[in-house]
Amino acid sequence: MSAHRATYWLVACALVVAGAVSRPAEAGTSAEPFAAPDNGRSCRASMLPVTVELGSAQVFARMCTPTGSRPRAVQLLVHGITYDHRYWNTADPAQPRGDRYSWEAAAARAGYATVAIDRLGAGRSSHPPSATVNLASNAAVVHQVVQQLRAGRVPAAGRPIAYRTVVLVGHSYGSMTAWTEADRFQDVDALVLTGATHNVREVHAPSNIEASMYPAVLDPRYAGTLLDPGYVTPRPGTVNGLFYAPGTDVDPRLIAADEQKKGTVSQFELLNYPVIFRTRLDLRVPVFLLVGDKDGIFCSQTPFDLGAPCGSPSRLVANERPWLGPRVPSVQAFVTAGAGHDLNNFRSSQTSFAAALRWLRATVRQ
């Protein structure tokens, strides 16, 4: 174990023993910075009670339903590392009232409700000691949100709905959280996995991601917080290299916005990667894979790297299906040409959204 990992471990474990928990800010309903407007949908933010290793915690949830409609199907949106619920509703810097980068808006137009959460240890959700925030605890929290959706206990702009159909939609680490939740709890109706495969381009890719991070308390954005040193955030100027691809069609203002709103990730989530990529799953619901062919973390860019074959949907499905289990009923894929890792933030976003929604309409009841 490296010296800095040992330091994170010792400090975080000490905080676990002490029972220290950093509480999130209260949920609000006003317009958020860097978020698209609620065009065509009625939204409400709330804090959902969940149980975690040290007791109770709260998860921030933003529930949106199409205006004037009460759908029976909901998409539960789970973001990746260093992001929060706003990844699913990114503001368009070219058109402040537009929503071309909003998965939420596209889903609403297709007749779906959405619930975008902040994962445990991210955004406005509770930040328990970092040593307790990992893939297992994230999956367990998502499971509790699924149960609250089915029971009609998630606050909405109107009367809450008990949803009969719940689709888990993840991005990057959120996709890994989603497939782990579906594997362990078997309680959702479909999976949409974006920006993730069971391959990484280089042997040291997880270490390279870790090397771009530093303790969040050293960053001006988190100065004065109670976060323990096991919570890390990207070093200034590293977001572009992590999540975007050189030469791809992305508005540079979105990358600049990412730098300003960057979030936290637990060091112990990063340590999960070797296990995540080599664990075979037992998924029993339809799966849709959505990646950009220029994804610099997961998709092969040269004949010599170890990324997934993202050159065609069929090759991607052949690569991923063995990891998803013998009882997965169907696996389909779409590869967005010219897009990098953060699919929602590329100018091709509407192409990505449309592909996922076409698959959902054909595969899962609403």
Q: Where are the domains of the chain?
A: 3-363
pLDDT of residue 203: 53
Q: Find, among 91, 93, 149, the residue nearest to 117 by Cα.
A: 149
> What CATH number labels 3-363?
3.40.50.1820
pLDDT of residue 7: 39
Strands 265-266 and 231-234: antiparallel
pLDDT of residue 3: 39
pLDDT of residue 307: 87
Nearest 10 degrees: Cα torsion 349, 352, 357, 358: 130
pLDDT of residue 106: 98
Q: 162 near 263, Cβ under 8 Å?
A: no
pLDDT of residue 275: 84
Q: What stretches in the chain show pLDDT beneath 50?
A: 1-30, 204
pLDDT of residue 8: 39
pLDDT of residue 26: 36
Instruction: State how far the Cα of 91 lies from the Cα of 93, in Å rounded to an integer.
Output: 6
pLDDT of residue 5: 42
- Joined together, the tokens standing for residue 259 give 């730098």
Q: 189 near 285, Cβ under 8 Å?
A: yes
pTM reported for the whole predicted model: 0.91
